[in-house]
Amino acid sequence: MTVRSPLAALVSRILPHAPAARLSRKTGVRLRGVHYWLTGENEPPAEITDWIDGQIQAVERFPLAARLDVLIEEAKKAGIDDEVIASWLALAHESLVKRPPE
């Protein structure tokens, strides 16, 4: 059984897919350094924890996951294939972060 640190649990609330890699890219800190934060071996700088806290608050105010789920379900009910939906989501990802999805 893997025990997650409190910080890892918080980060996964805002970065549910590949949280360590995404936090590494966001902060410019090498993946190893981020892993130390997420395992509780090191504390991240205050500006990082402030960013995490701010994003958690923003996600709580705007139910992003639920709204995306509704949109995807509506697209499926309209007959749009999963692969087509995924392609559009990948395009949106690339537009947002200026690189293709992993």
CB distance 55 to 14 below 8 Å: yes
CA atoms within 13 A on the CB side of 24: 13
| pLDDT (mean) for 54-61 | 96
CB distance 12 to 5 below 8 Å: no
pTM of the model: 0.83
pLDDT per residue over 7-45, tens digit each? 999 999 999 999 999 999 999 999 999 999 999 999 999
Contacts of 8 (CB under 8 A, 6+ apart): 19, 38, 39, 40
pLDDT per residue over 67-89, tens digit each? 999 999 999 999 999 999 999 99
Q: Is the pLDDT of residue 2 over 70?
A: no
